[in-house]
Amino acid sequence: MRILIIEDEMGLVDALTAILTKEKYSVDAVYDGLSGYEYALSNIYDAIILDVMLPKLNGFEVLKKLRREKVQTPVLMLTAKSELEDKVLGLDTGADDYLTKPFETAELLARIRALTRRRGEISEDNLKYGDLTLRRRTYELYCDDNSVKLGMKEFQILELLMINSNQIVTKEQITEKIWGYDDDAEYNNVEVYISFVRKKINFVGAKVRIKTTRGIGYSLEVFK
């Protein structure tokens, strides 16, 4: 899952990035409201952490513009204020939740999990499809008694396919979601890593394969 942080306190951004990366999230961060708005328009994020007090555009303005553009990404607003009016304004503007600074790491992570669950994403420690089980905390792939460790990009690609197991995930979606909106990774990286993931699925002996729909993208299917 990919999270966008829009926050101008660089120390807090560094801390949040470290916490979320440790929890297996991919993270992008920007330091002003205008940049945050432009990044969020890409619609590649599973959740947005949005500060209220920002240069160029404040958090309320960013949120209002995003909702006007029909961007429905879940938003967790951060505020140094605890007044009821600020919380009500954020929720009325389109925020999904709010968190008052300072906050505990456990509460932040719990709120992010809640936001992604509301959107219909799978946020449990284990993802399952067919006879495959993907353990999110250890990057391990299981089928019966067989297991194999996945690399970071392999894990992220298979996680994305399993979360969206009822549809085709395009090559563009994988590139943006895994490598990031501004990343200059080569386009062929997707095919290379799909090949790696296929080999590891075969290694554990699963009755699952990654199907290529030429010119569109990839999906999972169970074969007999």
Nearest partner of 130 among 12, 223, 217, judged by Cα: 223
Q: Same domain for 25 and 78?
A: yes
Q: Same domain for 73 and 146?
A: no
Q: Same domain for 13 and 112?
A: yes
Specify the CATH number for the domain of residue 192: 1.10.10.10
Where is the domain boundary, 118, 146, 181?
118
pLDDT band for position 177 (cuts 50, 70, 90):
confident
Q: Same domain for 205 and 134?
A: yes
Specify the CATH number for the domain of residue 98: 3.40.50.2300
Over its C-alpha atoms, the chain yields an Rg (Å, rounded) of 19
The two three-digit tokens of residue 17, written as one number: 């990035």
Q: Same domain for 84 and 103?
A: yes
What share of the chain has pLDDT > 90, as a percent? Answer: 52
Q: What is the pLDDT at residue 121?
A: 47
Its domain, for residue 203, covers 126-222
Mean pLDDT of 144-150: 93
* Beta carbons within 8 Å of 103's beta carbon, 6+ residues apart: 78
Choose the most confident range, by mean pLDDT, from 98-107, 113-122, 174-183.
Answer: 98-107
DSSP character string of 13-67: HHHHHHHHHHTT-EEEEESSHHHHHHHHTT---SEEEEESS-SSS-HHHHHHHHH
The Cα 182–Cα 164 span in angstroms is: 23
